[in-house]
Amino acid sequence: MKNLYGKSLLSDPALTKSTAFSREEREHYGLRGLLPYEVASIEKQIDRVLDSLRSKTSAIEKYIFLNGLLESNQRLFYRTLIDHIEEILPLVYTPTVGEACKEFAHIFRKPQGFYITPDDRGAIATILKNWPEEDIRVIVVTDGERILGLGDLGANGMGIPIGKVALYVACAGIHPAQCMPVMLDVGTNNIALREDPLYLGFPFPRISGDRYRSLVEEFINAVQVRYPNALIQFEDFLTPHAFEFLERYHHRVRCFNDDIQGTAAVTLAGIYSSCRITGKKFTDLNIMFLGTGSAAGGTAELVVDAFCADGLSRSQAQQRLWFIDRAGLVTATNGNIKPRIQPYAHQYDALSFADAISAIKPDVLIGATGVAGTFTETIVRRMAMVNERPVIIALSNPTSHTECTAEQAYQWSDGRAIFASGSPFDAVQYGNQRYKPAQGNNAYIFPGVGLGVYASSAKLVTQSMFLAAARELARIVTDQELRDGAVYPALTRVREVSHAIAVAVCRVAIDEGLTGSCLPQDLSNHVKLLMYEPNY
């Protein structure tokens, strides 16, 4: 322990054990009289946390309570999250984090993370020295412009990096001191936020163009100097910026975009798993996307890579993917097609969404719209007409923005749908079958990828790493989970998943010549030894 004593030790969230300090420790560290009599085990402390948590009547109250626990006792927070992850992860991250971001300025208690504004131009490298930790391995950064399906939330979007960091620690065991949430607070075009007297962010319209790009460039360069071993995860940038920065930086620095690549990998894993239920060959699938944003575009690119890895040419792979936008089927005759969607704009008749399903007969339907209810009863029933077991993946979150609910998917398909979603849903009873759909949560992917990059000292993050991650995630799903209607493993096994993905990423880094040092032969043990366990 660093040289803390008495009340200072109790107040340090990283070092305190609160009522778990032993009699000897209380004597040694000047804690006698500062704690109640009982020496509590961490298990009893967790029971007390759960009792308080479950007494709260709303998700946002529970979020505030858990955030307070993180600010007061880090190890207890993470131990509770890990041991009760199915209950607590939806409170720490999606769907509750969406509401928390909307209310961020109103529920703010203590500063967490690092803020950069246009006023810091020219000084970012200097102010990064104010962050107290030296060995940063993961930075999660957002500019708050496209928070989940909620749009521009400005500095309130800091809730996203804070939540993602919690998942890096809980799901992959990266030490909290090695993780850093960052907000590039470049203003907001959300007038209601700017006029909110409690808003904490840069209270001006967003900077744009060269002013914006040069600030991002300065941040990236400053990180390379201050934290040369850090992985940068871009999070919730507007789609054009998300692709632009990924294209600009992924050959230069360790970085990836979770909305593009993390979502792609978890979706691909769900597709792989669905083939074990349907019996269809992966390379025979036709896949249709509703939406043309970063999640859909990124997923399409990874699916094409997966098809090619299994023997198709790039042209053949692209022919198996189809896109729907507001006007209907995206074809070669459409105007203003996004460049990344162009390869999937085939020579075909203009059709409505429903008619396109009947004509093309997609095996898999993926929604990435951010618009609730876009998988209507007509759409789901059309999918069920052309497939014995239609695969329906509704990626949008939070829950209020999902394309359809689990219950709707099962009811409208007469219980035949293979359903996955970006938001969590409870089990659904349909007829004699009880379905337990698993959430297609990026927490299955990005923590393990980050751990693998850390473990391998990989110089870059490549598409092959996400392809390997998708394969590992699909491999780990059990036959019983598939019978229950889940194409992902139980969330309780997420650390097992992250370990397996990290080992696979290490192997990719070795194969692609990206490792910074010679790795031990036993990669599994090497990764395991790096994984932080929050115990006293």
Beta carbons within 10 angstroms of residue 195's beta carbon = 9
Report helix angle 59-72 to 74-83, nearest 10.
130
**Residue whose token pair is 């751990």:** 451
Q: Cα dihedral sign for 446, 447, 451, 454? A: positive
Scan for tokens 């032969």, then name that residue.
Answer: 521
d(CA 288, CA 308): 18
HEC readout, 246-270: HHHHCCCCCEEEHHHHHHHHHHHHH
As given in the structure block, the two tokens for residue 128 are 């990064």
Contact 451, 459 (CB under 8 A): no
Q: Tell me which of 29, 93, 168, 435 is the catalytic residue.
A: 93
**CB atoms near residue 438 (< 10 Å):** 23
Buried b (16+ CB within 10 A) or exposed e, 217-243: ebbbebbeebbeebbbbbbbbbbebbb
Token pair for 145: 């412009």
Catalytic residue among 78, 102, 164, 410: 164
Give the H or E element holding residue 45.
Answer: helix 42-55
- Cα separation, 141 vs 186, whole angstroms: 12
Query: CA geometry: angle at 295 spanning 95 and 374, to 5°?
Result: 70
Our answer to whether residue 164 is catalytic in this structure is: yes
Q: Is residue 95 within 8 Å of 63, Cβ to Cβ?
A: no
The one-character DSSP state at 38 is -
Is residue 204 within 8 A of residue 194, CB to CB? The reply is: yes
Is 280 tagged catalytic?
no
Take residue 495 and report the two structure tokens written for it: 């650390």
Catalytic residues: 93, 164
